[in-house]
Structure 1
Amino acid sequence: MEPNHPQQQPTVFVLFGAGGDLSWRLILPALFNLYLDKYLPEQWLLIGVDRQDYDQHSLAQHYREGIQQYSRRGIPDDKTWQSFSQALRYQQADITDPTSYTQLAKALVEQDKTWHGKAERVFYLATPPFLFADIAKGLGEANLAKARQRARIVVEKPLGHDLESFRGINQALNHYFQESQIYRIDHFLGKETVQNILALRFANPIFEPIWNRRYIDHIAITVAETLGVEHRANYYEGAGALRDMVQNHLLQLLCLVAMEPPVVFDAHDLRDRRMDVMHAIRPISAEEVQRYAARGQYGAGWMNGTQVPAYREEKGVAPDSNTETYCALEFHVDNWRWQGVPFYLRTGKRLPVEASEISIRFQDIPHQAFPTSAGLNAQPAQLVIRLQPEEGIVLKFMAKQPGPHLVLRPVEMRFSYQEAFQATSPTAYETLLWDIMKGDATLFTRADQVEAAWRLLMPILEVWEANPATDFPNYRAGTWGPEAAEVLIAHSGRSWLAPTLPEPKGGAPGKSTHHPRSA
């Protein structure tokens, strides 16, 4: 977010799927927080579009309940809420009916007249992806896409189920909207720490010179979840960990870590640099899938003293489901900077801790001058960028333990965003919605990058679908995944870097979690 609030143009935010869970839990709480921080334009209006039986008052009350539960700012007082809710409107509509879009167009024209000027128009599709084409067509045929500089369309993941379905969705969007008008939202890119990857690398001269194959041994990106499938079985059964997390979130993180320095800090150049990484990632052929990709599905186990069921026992899941709830992959980026440096990606449900982080493991020292008894190899030098739950950066290195004997032990230097800035970070959706309204596409994915990600993963998806797993479930809930993931990384003589726990209250140094099979 920017330190000052530049004057914004009048904006109408049209929210399709206004009565849905995404709007209730994430979008409206984010908009309300932007309103409290005075980031929304003075002339601002939200038009909710849905087929549910709401009116303006009942929709506002529904949103207030969601904000009370999910806003980082707590329960809104009556005066503030009344002021905010005055900008909420509702249009009950069937989004497959063309007349719904002509009515919307009339409402937008009338609003421009009221404001005595042409407003920016954001069309946010908080709907299932199979409706994207219908909505794009409706907006296009109602001439709501023609104002190329003022009209923007926002789409949520999943952007297709495979390469072919993504191309279908993209073709439908591009038929009416130009690429510059399409904002493909990935909430991981809105996280403060993700954006600070660029600041860490390119605003500090001490990091970029060693950010290459000469000094880095490997990079591990982990997104671990303690939750199971919860209420998402209908979606997750058709997706799995590879589609749900790797195709978008983890590959985006890989691109940010591996990209070359931009010439200028703008959307066009930054997206080009990320696309360069996608071009350089070595494809995994069908014959190599078993070597470079591992999958798992959680069985019954214990989480925080509570017994939890296996994935196949969850409500809405097929008893013989082949859906993976865990996956691990090894990628190589074939360019001068990263040749020979493996990138390990893993994500899974029902893992021991909730952690999203990027671990950069540096090379071992070239010459062992210390005696073996000093314990130099207790822990390699490592830089950890923590994305959640505690946003920050941890540098792990060796230091001499106080005392008469030469004993080395691993220590940590920690940077916490909350402690350093004494402020709660805006949510990812706040950052991204703000960028959408001011027309900044830096943190959004371009069509060619999404297509490249699907191309990269299609051999893995095809092999896994053609060869159902015979060992599912193959890891217990509360453990770090299947043995196949350990075999994958052990091929190169490495082991998974254990996620870093938040620093305990009271200032005592934090410790890494112990990996059950880590070297």
Structure 2
Amino acid sequence: MEQPKDCVIVIFGASGDLTKRKLIPALFTLHHKKLLPERFAVLGVSRTEYSDEEFRGHVEQSLQDFGDIEDASKGEAQSFLQAMYYTGIDTKNTEAFAKVKNRLASICDERSMPRNIIYYLSVPPAMYPVIAKNLAAHDMQNEARGWKRLIVEKPFGHDLDSALELNATLQDAFQEDQIYRIDHYLGKETVQNIMALRFANGIFEPLWNRNYIDRVEITSAESVGVEKRGGYYDHSGAMRDMVQNHLLQVTGTIAMEPPAVFDADSVRSETVKVFHSLRPITGDKVAKNVVRGQYTESTVDGNTLKAYRDEEKVDPESRTETFVALKLHIDNWRWGGVPFYLRTGKHLPTRVSEVVIHFKRTPHYIFSRDSNENVKCNQLVIRIQPDEGILLKYGMKVPGAGFQIQQVSMDFKYANIAEGSLPSAYERLLLDCMLGDATLYARSDAVEACWRFVEPILDAWKDDGDQKLYGYPAGTWGPKEAKSIFESPDLDWRYPCENLSSDGEYCEL
């Protein structure tokens, strides 16, 4: 694998939870795998005042609590810690960025490094434009002495107007090709493998269209509630938190045309074409194509699970959705007439994310009618998490007399070919940014197109008092009305379990 060029990673919000739980452990794993540059450094920046040694102590604690350091030598850990530096500033103060600029120059000189710098904004979204402007005010985006890249975390705006405003502000300070909008969902190994499954195998791509596919089902279920994020979540909801970004990005990967070449701009341009082809859901179409729900109090295995409205920092009369099921159509030649069903929610029976490709039945079934009743259409299940893998379901003859057909499964587990555990999304995305590969990062036009699709739905919920919000007991698969969006009453959602091969069961918490 290509080695990244020497660089410094500046983490704004270095004393925060994301840095402690995700960024530092991911960087150390890359260091352990010898995938970091030969010379690298991390400069933590936050309001809290630490010395370098105090910050290194916090980094070491982060590795012990959240890192995978069992196989690492003491020397590896020490060399990693010695590459950690810290500067405390008020990031709202433009003049304070001179201190960061001088510290970067000092680190690069000390370690004989070029001025290749990644700015990672691990801060509240309201600070993205502030920090970008302050960096530009000190010419810290200038690439005369080395490349500069800016990583921002989702959410990329709260609605279309705020997304447009954020993109304009970021692009005033940095060039679009310097901006890396991170969606950790795209960094998951199994999401990336959707492209490999489609474009590296001659047996799938010829079938990947409306002639052979009946419908596509995408599920992202979480078994926990909002936990300590009630204040944030009550102003966001499942549509903004999951559908607008994660699920639509997966939809784009499933539905995109093959790019002419496999590079960042070509791949992202094809996914944007999908988003531009989404049929708008507006007005009275919202109630027919979208179901929203909110979890209510329930008891599972003797344990009481709180209602959403009883969660900390949640409005006791909140109408924020914790569950969304929607049907969308992609109006192009490949997917015309094929419905895509998306579903996500909090406090569902199990934590699972997957894509199910439901193929059409054979045009003429030649076996007995009794046999036909036991055979469902062929399915290709792409499990994103957990128990990552692929499951193909097809019909086979039951041994013995007659011609009874039964559905059987053939599965593949990524663990069978992975050396150790699968890399985390942050490992992959941080490494890609160091390499200058933006393939798995969201481009501004993609973000805006996704907002254009979901905003009419959000507006209908806000403005139309007749739009229903259904309750569902915590620990179940959402409101029963979620089935109403299917085009046939005979269809239903797949109810996946934690184990890829155990499906069709109604798993409980």
CA–CA distance in 2 between the matches of 1:66 and 1:398? 50
1:203-224 CA-partner distances (Å, limit 9, x unpaired): 0000000000010000000001
CA–CA distance in 1 between the matches of 2:70 and 2:462? 45
Which residue number corresponds to residue 495 of structure 1?
492
CA contact (8 A) 2:7 2:113 kept: no
1:434-456 CA-partner distances (Å, limit 9, x unpaired): 00111110100100000000011
CA contact (8 A) 2:220 2:354 kept: yes
1:262 aligns with 2:253: no
CA–CA distance in 2 between the matches of 1:307 and 1:469? 31
The structure 1 segments of at least 4 consecutive aligned residues displaced by more than 6 Å after TM superposition are none
CA–CA distance in 2 between the matches of 1:376 and 1:69? 52
Which residue number corresponds to residue 85 of structure 1?
81
1:99 aligns with 2:95: yes
Q: Residue 167 of structure 1: CA displacement?
A: 1.3
CA–CA distance in 2 between the matches of 1:71 and 1:27? 10
Q: Residue 311 of structure 1: CA displacement?
A: 0.5
CA–CA distance in 2 between the matches of 1:475 and 1:77? 49
CA–CA distance in 1 between the matches of 2:301 and 2:504? 15
**CA distance 1:513–1:300, change in 2 (3 Å):** farther
Which residue number corresponds to residue 123 of structure 2?
127
Q: Partner amino acid for 1:511?
A: S
Which residue number corresponds to residue 507 of structure 1?
none
- Match of 1:463, SS state, is helix
Q: Partner amino acid for 1:288?
A: K
**CA distance 1:486–1:426, change in 2 (3 Å):** same
Q: Residue 404 of structure 1: CA displacement?
A: 2.3
Q: Which of 494, 514, 519 is matched with 2:505 structurally?
A: 514
Q: Which of 6, 9, 27 is matched with 1:10 structurally?
A: 6
- Match of 1:147, SS state, is coil
Q: Partner amino acid for 2:102?
A: K
CA contact (8 A) 1:68 1:74 kept: no
1:480 aligns with 2:480: no
Q: Residue 75 of structure 1: CA displacement?
A: 8.0
Q: Residue 492 of structure 1: CA displacement?
A: 6.9
CA–CA distance in 2 between the matches of 1:71 and 1:115? 25
CA contact (8 A) 1:303 1:352 kept: no
1:57-106 CA-partner distances (Å, limit 9, x unpaired): 22222222222232245486543322210000110110011222111111
**CA distance 1:162–1:74, change in 2 (3 Å):** farther
Gaps of 5+ in 1: 504-509
Q: TM-score, normalised by structure 1?
A: 0.94
Which residue number corresponds to residue 506 of structure 1?
none
CA contact (8 A) 1:33 1:430 kept: yes
- Aligned counterparts, 1:48-127, within 5 A: 48-74=44-70, 78-127=74-123
**CA distance 1:114–1:77, change in 2 (3 Å):** closer
CA–CA distance in 2 between the matches of 1:173 and 1:290? 36
- Aligned counterparts, 1:405-420, within 5 A: 405-420=402-417
- Aligned counterparts, 1:282-321, within 5 A: 282-303=279-300, 305-321=302-318
- Aligned counterparts, 1:421-460, within 5 A: 421-460=418-457
Q: Residue 8 of structure 1: CA displacement?
A: 2.8
Q: Which of 4, 19, 22 is matched with 1:26 structurally?
A: 22
CA–CA distance in 1 between the matches of 2:58 and 2:37? 23
CA–CA distance in 1 between the matches of 2:108 and 2:433? 20
CA–CA distance in 1 between the matches of 2:221 and 2:70? 27
Which residue number corresponds to residue 200 of structure 1?
197
Q: Residue 24 of structure 1: CA displacement?
A: 0.6
Q: Residue 483 of structure 1: CA displacement?
A: 2.4
CA–CA distance in 1 between the matches of 2:303 and 2:504? 20
Which residue number corresponds to residue 175 of structure 1?
172
CA contact (8 A) 1:68 1:75 kept: no
Which residue number corresponds to residue 45 of structure 1?
41
**CA distance 1:37–1:76, change in 2 (3 Å):** closer
**CA distance 1:356–1:248, change in 2 (3 Å):** same
Q: Residue 364 of structure 1: CA displacement?
A: 1.1
**CA distance 1:21–1:283, change in 2 (3 Å):** same
CA–CA distance in 2 between the matches of 1:126 and 1:266? 27
CA–CA distance in 1 between the matches of 2:405 and 2:60? 55
1:186 aligns with 2:183: yes
1:119-172 CA-partner distances (Å, limit 9, x unpaired): 310000000000011100110001001217600000001111111111121111
1:160 aligns with 2:157: yes
- Aligned counterparts, 1:192-341, within 5 A: 192-303=189-300, 305-341=302-338
- Aligned counterparts, 1:379-394, within 5 A: 379-394=376-391
CA contact (8 A) 2:158 2:240 kept: yes
Gaps of 5+ in 2: none
What is the aligned-residue RMSD (CA, Å)? 1.8
Q: Partner amino acid for 1:169?
A: L
CA contact (8 A) 1:13 1:121 kept: yes
Q: Residue 310 of structure 1: CA displacement?
A: 0.6
CA contact (8 A) 1:298 1:349 kept: yes
- Match of 1:284, SS state, is coil
CA–CA distance in 1 between the matches of 2:275 and 2:301? 39
CA–CA distance in 2 between the matches of 1:163 and 1:491? 33
Q: Partner amino acid for 2:17?
A: D
Q: Residue 186 of structure 1: CA displacement?
A: 0.3
- Match of 1:421, SS state, is coil
Relative to structure 2, which stretch is displaced further, 115-124 or 156-165? 115-124
Q: Partner amino acid for 1:417?
A: Y
Q: Partner amino acid for 2:441?
A: F
Q: Partner amino acid for 1:264?
A: V
Q: Kindly, what percent of the aligned residue pairs are identical?
A: 44
